[in-house]
């Protein structure tokens, strides 16, 4: 969905709008649109820089690092800070969450890249990407969306067999049109510095088994559409693309891990039209309005069975809303660090089930606008209806006056314990668990 057009207000009108709409805990849609326009018009989004990680104390013991030792370095202030460079060479492996510990501490990770496919947790646990297939080395950053050249990323993703795609070195890939992927692919940027920026984003449509890891995606813009090759034997007509960073449409078994994302024209990640079996982990999000959208419409039941895990991510500076915004479906938010939001963190409509466990929520610094401290926001339903939706907070940490308004069954977390949920670590460890989120500078021959 497109961003609202920017408008400017006279100073008196601006204060009138803020004074009337912000105190309302249940602002209607028109009021939220006005507030969104204010933030889009008044706040300048700056440049980004990323990082993140996560884990359980028992797993840390395997690497002989105590959680208390790491906490001494990373938990000295209520507002998250990034403490120097990540461990590159020598010293103990600093991976701190159950996903990262599965592979990052192995100095031979580059020789065993495909082992990473066994590390995914949560609802995307069946995603294997291109495991078992050949390696494809991207050597050319150019993009021809109708007749892709061998050695380009587009030529790799349109192949029909399983492929594990790697990169020859540092490159910026400006996609002329959306990058449409075939099933059974891994895009693996470890050991390189890969930016997809300045053009279109990635489209995962009606496919399965996709892994995207360790790349930057930013400054994605709308594209006009046209004839685009989506397979080695097919070129199809595509309509206008709104500029999502990653668009997941009718697809299953998807894992997005250690991706740094910012400044896309529409959403950073959208998952719609019956997509399910998705894990988004260890990512760093900054400089954006509408961050994550799960489910596109209140008028359809196609997303009723959607299941998404959001784990060990850092929702960072200059974010406004939708972290995520959910429609129907089931969403597990676990051990994420919400250090910044401008309007709200978690939103929803159409009766989604949201289980929030072991997250840290740090409300915006504001004295005038108390309603902005609320983590949750519900759309298109009166309280008599949304009070029946299961939105549970379990073991979360709230700072700077952050408030989560629960609803529905307070035992919801226990009811769904049999599902593929990641067991939460204590919320007090979240700054440690997410300290390396986003792109990792991995050196071959060393722990990553």
pLDDT in tens, 103-158: 999 999 999 999 999 999 999 999 999 999 999 999 999 999 999 999 999 999 99
Which of 260, 250, 227, 226 lies closest to 240 in space, CA to CA? 226
What is the SS3 assignment for 15? helix
Please tell me the predicted confidence (pLDDT) of residue 267.
96
Mean pLDDT of 260-264: 98
pLDDT-wise least confident of 78-82, 161-165, 176-180, 277-281:
78-82
**Residue 32 CB neighbour total at 10 angstroms:** 18
CB-based contacts of 10, cutoff 8 Å, min separation 6: none
CB-based contacts of 149, cutoff 8 Å, min separation 6: 140, 142, 155
Partner residues linked to 285 by β-bridges = 261, 315
CB 92 within 8 A of CB 64: yes
Partner residues linked to 138 by β-bridges = 167
Between CA 413 and CA 390 the distance in angstroms is: 9
Please tell me the predicted confidence (pLDDT) of residue 260.
98
CB-based contacts of 239, cutoff 8 Å, min separation 6: 225
CB 341 within 8 A of CB 361: no
- Could you identify the residue written with the tokens 């397979």? 231
Partner residues linked to 152 by β-bridges = 140
- Could you identify the residue written with the tokens 């067999």? 161
Question: Among residues 80, 322, 373, 378, which one is catalytic?
Answer: 322
**Residue 278 CB neighbour total at 10 angstroms:** 27
pLDDT-wise least confident of 84-93, 216-225, 257-266, 429-438:
84-93
Please tell me the predicted confidence (pLDDT) of residue 38.
52
Between CA 278 and CA 295 the distance in angstroms is: 13
Mean pLDDT of 236-252: 97
- Could you identify the residue written with the tokens 């379990």? 394
Between CA 299 and CA 296 the distance in angstroms is: 9
Between CA 208 and CA 219 the distance in angstroms is: 26
DSSP 215: -
List C-alpha distances in Å: 106 to 96, 112, 128, 148, 387: 14, 9, 20, 35, 47
- Given pLDDT bands bounded at 50, 70 and 90, which one contains residue 296? confident
List C-alpha distances in Å: 116 to 106, 168, 269: 11, 19, 22
Domain 50-433, classified CATH 2.160.20.10, yes or no: yes
Please tell me the predicted confidence (pLDDT) of residue 288.
96
Rg (CA), the chain: 21
CB 249 within 8 A of CB 273: yes
Between CA 340 and CA 286 the distance in angstroms is: 9
- Could you identify the residue written with the tokens 């920026």? 197
Between CA 155 and CA 157 the distance in angstroms is: 6
- Given pLDDT bands bounded at 50, 70 and 90, which one contains residue 73? very low
CATH 2.160.20.10 range(s) for the chain read 50-433
Structure tokens that stand for 408 in this block: 């529905």
Mean model confidence pLDDT for the chain: 85
- Given pLDDT bands bounded at 50, 70 and 90, which one contains residue 20? very low
Active site residue 322: yes
Between CA 55 and CA 281 the distance in angstroms is: 12
Partner residues linked to 347 by β-bridges = 325, 377
């Amino acid at each position: 969905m497109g961003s609202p057009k920017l408008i400017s207000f006279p100073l008196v009108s601006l204060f009138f709008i803020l004074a009337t709409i912000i105190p309302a805990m249940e602002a209607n849609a028109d009021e939220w649109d006005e507030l969104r326009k204010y933030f889009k018009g008044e706040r300048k989004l700056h440049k980004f820089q990323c990082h993140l990680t996560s884990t359980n104390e028992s797993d840390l013991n395997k690497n002989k690092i105590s959680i208390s030792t790491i906490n001494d370095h990373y938990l000295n202030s209520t507002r998250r800070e990034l403490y120097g460079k990540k461990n590159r060479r020598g010293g103990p492996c600093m991976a701190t969450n159950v996903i990262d510990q599965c592979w990052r501490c192995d100095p031979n990770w580059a020789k065993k890249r495909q082992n990473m496919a066994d590390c995914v947790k949560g609802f995307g646990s069946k995603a294997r990407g291109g495991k078992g297939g050949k390696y494809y080395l991207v050597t050319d950053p150019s993009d021809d969306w109708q007749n892709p050249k061998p050695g380009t990323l587009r030529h790799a993703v349109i192949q029909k067999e399983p492929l594990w795609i790697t990169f020859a070195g540092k490159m910026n890939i400006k996609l002329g049109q959306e990058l449409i992927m075939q099933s059974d692919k891994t895009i693996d940027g470890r050991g390189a510095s890969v930016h997809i920026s300045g053009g279109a984003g990635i489209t995962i449509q009606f496919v399965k088994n996709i892994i995207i890891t360790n790349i930057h995606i930013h400054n994605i813009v709308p594209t006009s559409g046209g004839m685009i090759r989506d397979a080695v034997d097919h070129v199809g007509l595509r309509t206008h693309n709104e500029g999502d960073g990653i668009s997941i449409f009718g697809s299953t078994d998807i894992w997005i891990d250690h991706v740094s994302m910012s400044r896309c024209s529409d959403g950073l990640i959208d998952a719609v039209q019956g997509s399910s079996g998705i894990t988004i982990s260890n990512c760093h999000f900054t400089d954006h309005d509408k961050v994550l959208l799960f489910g596109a419409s209140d008028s359809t039941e196609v997303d009723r069975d959607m299941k998404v895990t959001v784990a060990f991510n850092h929702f960072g500076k200059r974010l406004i809303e939708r972290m995520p915004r959910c429609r129907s479906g089931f969403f597990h938010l676990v051990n994420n660090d919400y250090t910044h939001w401008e309007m709200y963190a978690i939103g929803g409509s159409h009766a989604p089930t949201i289980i929030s466990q072991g997250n840290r929520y740090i409300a915006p610094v504001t004295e005038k606008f108390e309603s902005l401290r609320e983590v949750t926001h519900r759309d298109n339903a009166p309280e008599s209806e949304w009070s029946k939706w299961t939105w549970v907070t379990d073991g979360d940490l709230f700072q700077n006056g952050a408030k989560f308004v629960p609803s529905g069954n307070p035992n919801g977390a226990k009811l769904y314990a049999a599902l593929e949920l990641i067991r939460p670590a204590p919320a007090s460890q979240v700054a440690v668990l997410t300290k390396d989120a986003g792109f990792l500078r991995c050196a071959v021959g060393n722990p990553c």
